[in-house]
Amino acid sequence: MTEVHPREILIATITRLLDGVRHVAVGASSPIPAAGAMLLRAMKKRAGAPPVRISILGSVEHNFFTNGSAELFDCAGQGRIDAFFLGGGQIDGQANINLVGVGDYPASTPRWPGSFGSAYLYFVVPRVILFREEHSPRVFVDKVDFISAPGTSAPGVHRTGGPVALLTGKALFSFDKTRPGFTLESLHPGHALEEVREATGFAFADPRDTGRTPAPDRETLALLRGQVMDELAETYPEFASQMRREVHA
Amino acid sequence: MTEVHPREILIATITRLLDGVRHVAVGASSPIPAAGAMLLRAMKKRAGAPPVRISILGSVEHNFFTNGSAELFDCAGQGRIDAFFLGGGQIDGQANINLVGVGDYPASTPRWPGSFGSAYLYFVVPRVILFREEHSPRVFVDKVDFISAPGTSAPGVHRTGGPVALLTGKALFSFDKTRPGFTLESLHPGHALEEVREATGFAFADPRDTGRTPAPDRETLALLRGQVMDELAETYPEFASQMRREVHA
Amino acid sequence: MDLRGMAARVEAGMQLALPVDYAGVSMAMTRALIERGAGDLDLFCVPTGGLQVDQLIGAGLVRSVETSAVSLGEAGGAPRFNQAVGEGRIVVRDATCPAIHAALMAAQKGNPFQPLRGLVGSDVLRFRPDWRMIDNPFAEDRDPIVLIPAARPDIAIFHAPMADRNGNVWIGRRRELAAMAYAAGQTLVTVERIIDENLLGSETSAAGTLPALYVTEIAVAPRGAWPYGLWGEYATDTAEILRYAKAARTAEGFATYMAQPAAGRAEEPAQ
Amino acid sequence: MDLRGMAARVEAGMQLALPVDYAGVSMAMTRALIERGAGDLDLFCVPTGGLQVDQLIGAGLVRSVETSAVSLGEAGGAPRFNQAVGEGRIVVRDATCPAIHAALMAAQKGNPFQPLRGLVGSDVLRFRPDWRMIDNPFAEDRDPIVLIPAARPDIAIFHAPMADRNGNVWIGRRRELAAMAYAAGQTLVTVERIIDENLLGSETSAAGTLPALYVTEIAVAPRGAWPYGLWGEYATDTAEILRYAKAARTAEGFATYMAQPAAGRAEEPAQ
């Protein structure tokens, strides 16, 4: 068995960020967030804590909805979804996200798929975790070219949700909506502050005591590599087998 | 076999009033309107004309809805229901209907059940037929004590539907929304103009050539007493057997 | 969970959402609620009320009723409701069926309101100061339209044929039951039986299933809608409703009727 | 009815409502629509588009797309869509998923609009002059809220597992298909098979059934969603979608791909 895999640190970090949620929704093509949610569920179950519900969009196996594709949004609007993940082709220092494209809208080049549900879910899900593995200046920009969903809202705008953290392949940031802006919380093993600063197109707060993103302990790692990977394989077979190959290499 | 039963004249009159509709909705406890709709359906089928769809509310057999009790109203709002029937504890000369009660609201005495869907359906179903067998001054009043739904609306109010006729146990009236007011169209056999005027608490137009409400012809009567009563018996067994007893008495 | 335990969730002053006669009324919960005795209840009828509403009013537990109608259907007017209205002992918020559905839909969508056509010029609208009329902002000319505020009942209570061991409830095509559960803070369900099959396990059964996500508690109550019927299960006991209608014409007759055991319903088994 | 006959209902300039990848895309109708050749289409994606949208754009039939996203999922971006956007050959009305659902819900209810939270401060809202922001009339302080106007597509087109001989269609829990049909003027459905059983005949099957009332035409098209999957029936043919994604990077590659017969789908039988 190898050392802790970088993605295992991401998964365990997501588990920490989700601590306390009752119901988390995960996108169809988000195996790392799904694994983080499954690890939380397994840990809570082991500890005899209240259960964690996970809805995986587009999955038949983990589809707890029966009212069509509108139900996720209704459910979020009812306050029944505590956490969700959003990414973005661009994310800026105010946590604005862009899922539409680069350059002058509408003639964006490249054009990305579109905003999906972000322009709604970002407002009504209390704990939105921004997750993007690629940590580069083309992703983390000073100002997004198109605001699919804004990171913060003016006073008086109905907003029960928003970003709490940004997790990348290099580091973990928290988000302070009063400033607004990101604060570096920890660097993942093998990554340095200078490297992160160069890879980030926006300014972020950088406390002196920034530490290392913790690796999961032995017990957690065993749970992740065993039961959680089995569960994950049902919905994301290719990701799970790739992880297993790399962990056992 | 007896002469034509008074209710057979009502049923055949409803069939005439419904001519041309594609979809008619009928309340759960409205056997005469249902029979009129079923007779129309049978006649159209016999003539090879486009089919008539009948939705009977609360019936399992004739329930073509699968989206709960909101679907009738949605369906009407979509313009997919061409005709509906409304009654009323009071109906006035402007076709306002009262399903709530007599006297000063809210302490109505007697208190009737309530407005049901009338405050909506009266606005959006193109052909609403007011039907009340009891023809008396306590029902047909000058001014209703509570407007569950108004007979007409001010210009600019969205209104794609409304009353076209009033059918009672004594007579048939049409409704003119420009005046607004009722016009006597015909008296049922056995009823005189003076009697109807005394039994009606509101003024109505009374053309000189008011005739008799026609009885169904032999062929229509045979269809009504045969196939239609069989169909009606599935949903309204007691009404159908009562009709059969009285017709064969 | 047993009926008494479920009824204990109802506190004085709460708003309860209750379904129409034919959609699955948990008559089994009616007596448990009366025994529990939490009063000052606000009832929200989806979209009309009947026997259950009349009995809760007769027992003195009801402060207000929001509804499109209250009646016993073929058995005529609801006697305890009608008397309480005449004596001014309860507040009635008269609505119209689609306004009730609109209020729930607004809550389902997390919206503050939902528009509704019709109503303009009616006394239904005139006596609802909590509703608003605006000009449709998409129209060129004046176009008044009513906005119905969201209803978020504290507790929805209904009866259904079955639930599975994961807490999923089969509601078939009675989707107003789902609408009630989406809108409500808690949802209490009585069922004829618990089944071993996972209702979300096949597309066929999933189509008519309210997911456990929206269900707070489930209790088994065989013939729990009696004397109302339950779709696909048993017919309405019209004779019993007529018996009630006659008895409940007076407060004394109502008290005598309610003191009798619920003859047509098996006692709920311990669970 | 056959596919060609159904496609003949589509006229130039019409708005078509099309479902998301996993909900039952009538890929069988895509080629019939291209053969029919009615252009200047406005596509309304519920709530996102994929292969079908990309192919209709590639065939030059599309004037505008209203959508929350267009992509080929795991196979990446939609090549004909992306190129058409870059060249400004189609108008994209960028939305967000619940706004699409809100527009259909407004039409379902016969309402001119439906409110929706979120959106305030986004460029999605900024570029939608057809949407309106008002102050929530129920709030004491300023409370901006967006109103989405009703969408009433001319024709909804989707694929489902089965229909019965009365024209009822089984849609299971994919209730967005019902929402499309409620909102649309006409609804064209392809199905895997016609069954003899009346889908409204039992409560179990009725729960997942779209009544014939909302269905204009039905045609049989076995494997009619291919290369997409159909819930409970067959899985997505990811390799085929990857093959398309690669081929359609250029207009020529797209033309070559579309000139080939639909390998994974049986030809529809005469009916």
Cβ-nearest to C124 among B65, B115, B158? B115
Instruction: Report whether pLDDT(D265) > 90.
Output: no
Residue D194 and residue D74 share a domain:
yes
Asked if C90 and C84 count as a contact pair (C-beta separation under 8 A), the reply is: yes
pLDDT per residue over C174-185, tens digit each? 999 999 999 999
For residues C79 and C180, membership in a common domain is answered with yes
d(CA C87, CA C64) in angstroms, rounded, equals: 13
CB atoms within 10 A of CB A107: 13
Interface contact B156-C82, CB threshold 8 A: no
**Mean pLDDT score across all residues of chain D:** 95
Residue that wins the pLDDT comparison between D255 and A58? D255
Whether the predicted pLDDT of C26 surpasses 50: yes
Domain count, chain C: 2
Tens-digit pLDDT profile for residues D157-198: 999 999 999 999 999 999 999 999 999 999 999 999 999 999
Class of residue C242 by CB neighbours under 10 A (exposed 0-12, middle 13-18, buried 19+): middle
Q: Out of B94-98, C42-46, C83-87, pick the least confident.
A: C83-87
Same-domain check for residues D136 and D11: no
Same domain for D16 and D30, yes or no, is yes
- Nearest one of B203, B153, B201 to B178, comparing CA atoms: B153
D266 or B151, which is more confident: B151
pLDDT at C76 > cutoff 70? yes
User: How remote is the C-alpha of A170 from its chain's centroid?
Assistant: 14
Percent of chain B beyond pLDDT 90?
Answer: 87
Is D172 domain-assigned?
yes
Identify the domain boundary among C131, C149, C167: C149
Handedness of CA D254, D260, D263, D265 (dihedral sign): positive
Average confidence (pLDDT) over B200-227: 94
Q: Which chain B residue shows the shortest CA-CA distance from C134?
A: B157
Answer whether D224's CB lies under 8 Å from D192's CB. yes
Do the Cβ atoms of D70 and A114 come within 8 Å?
yes
| Distance between D137 CA and the closest CA of chain C, angstroms | 7
Find, among A28, A219, A173, A177, the residue nearest to A113 by Cα: A28
Say what the pLDDT of residue C264 is.
67
C195 with C133, same domain? no
pLDDT surpasses 50 at D207? yes
pLDDT of residue D264: 67
Question: Which residue on chain C is closest to B57 by alpha carbon?
Answer: C22
Task: Give the pair of three-digit tokens for residue D95.
Answer: 């939305």
Residue B129 DSSP symbol:
E
Cα torsion angle, B169, B171, B174, B180, sign: negative
Distance CA C230, CA B109 (A): 33
**Facing residue for B53 by CB, picked from D111, D183, D213:** D213
Assign residue C15 the CATH number of its domain. Answer: 3.40.1080.10
Chain D residues whose beta carbon lies within 8 Å of the beta carbon of residue A68: 23, 173-179
| Chain mean position to CA C73 | 16
C-alpha to C-alpha distance for C187 and A246, rounded to whole angstroms: 46
C124, C182: one domain = no
**D143 and D159, same domain (yes or no):** no
Residue D150 tokens read as 């009703």
Is residue C26 less than 8 Å (CB to CB) from chain D? no
Q: Say if residue C138 is in the same domain as residue C212.
A: no
Interchain touch B–D (≥3 Cβ pairs closer than 8 Å)? yes
Among candidate residues B122, A127, B85, the one with its CA nearest the CA of residue C121: B122
Q: How confident is the model at residue D268 (pLDDT cuts 50, 70, 90)?
A: very low
Which residues constitute the domain of residue C213? Answer: 3-95+152-259
Instruction: Tally the C-alpha atoms within 13 A of residue D15's C-alpha that lie toward its C-beta.
Output: 16
Burial class (CB in 10 A: 0-12, 13-18, 19+), B33: buried
What's the gap in Å between the CA of D186 and the closest CA on chain A? Answer: 20
**What residue ranges define each of the domains in chain A, with the CATH number in brackets?**
6-247 (3.40.1080.10)
Has residue D159 been placed in a domain? yes
Render pLDDT for B41-79 as a digit per residue (tens, 0 to 9): 999 999 999 999 999 886 766 778 999 999 999 999 999
CB contact under 8 A, C111 and D116: yes
State pLDDT tens for residues A147-190: 999 999 999 999 999 999 999 999 999 999 999 999 999 999 99
Closest CA to A120 of B28, D95, B125, C124: D95
pLDDT tens profile A182-237: 999 999 999 999 999 999 999 999 988 889 999 999 999 999 999 999 999 988 88
Q: Are residues C12 and C70 in the same domain?
A: yes
Which has the minimum average pLDDT: B65-74, C261-270, D199-208, D209-218?
Answer: C261-270
The pLDDT confidence band at residue D269, using thresholds 50, 70 and 90, is very low
Position B62 scores a pLDDT of: 73
pLDDT for the residue A159: 97
Assess whether chains C and D touch, using the rule of 3 or more C-beta pairs within 8 angstroms.
yes
Q: What is the mean pLDDT of residues C110-126?
A: 98
**What is the tens place of the pLDDT at every residue in D144-164?**
999 999 999 999 999 999 999
Average pLDDT, chain A: 94
CB distance D132 to D147 below 8 Å:
yes
D144 lies in the same domain as D202: no
Cα A125 to chain center, whole Å?
A: 13
List for chain D the helix, strand, coil content (%; round to 5). 35, 25, 40
Residue C137 lies in a domain: yes
Q: What gap in Å lies between CA A20 and CA A25, rounded to an integer?
A: 14
Query: What is residue C270's predicted lDDT score, i.e. its pLDDT?
Result: 38
For residues D117-122, give the mean pLDDT: 98
Considering only the beta carbons, identify the residue of A60, A66, A119 that sits closest to D122.
Answer: A119
pLDDT tens track for B148-161: 999 999 999 999 99
B contact chains, 3+ CB pairs < 8 A: C, D
Question: What percent of chain D is predicted at pLDDT more than 70?
Answer: 97
Look at residue D99 in the predicted model and tell me its pLDDT: 98
Tell me the C-alpha distance between C167 and C217, whole Å.
8
Whether residue D252 is found in the same domain as residue D179: yes
Task: Give the residue on C whose Cα is nearest the Cα of A67.
Answer: C207
Q: C7 and C62 in one domain?
A: yes
Assign D262 a pLDDT band (cuts: 50, 70, 90): confident
Those of residues 233-252 in C touching chain D at CB distance below 8 A are: none
d(Cα A8, Cα A10) in Å, to the nearest integer? 5
**Among the three residues D134, D149, D164, which one is the final residue of a domain in this structure?**
D149
**Closest Cβ–Cβ partner in C110, C111, C209 for A66:** C209
* CB pair distance less than 8 Å for C112 and D208: no
pLDDT digits (tens, 9 = 90+) for B102-117: 999 999 999 999 999 9
Average pLDDT over chain C, rounded to an integer: 95
Q: How many CA atoms lie within 13 A of D224 on its CB side?
A: 28
pLDDT for position A244? 92
Across residues C65-80, what is the average pLDDT? Answer: 95
In a domain, D266, yes or no: no
Tell me the mean pLDDT in the region A83-96.
97
Nearest CA of chain C to the CA of A172: how many Å? Answer: 31
pLDDT at C58: 98
Coil/strand/helix, residue B48: coil
Residues paired with residue D113 on neighbouring β-strands, in sequence order = D149
Q: How confident is the model at residue C265 (pLDDT cuts 50, 70, 90)?
A: low
* Contacting residues of C for B79, CB less than 8 Å apart: none
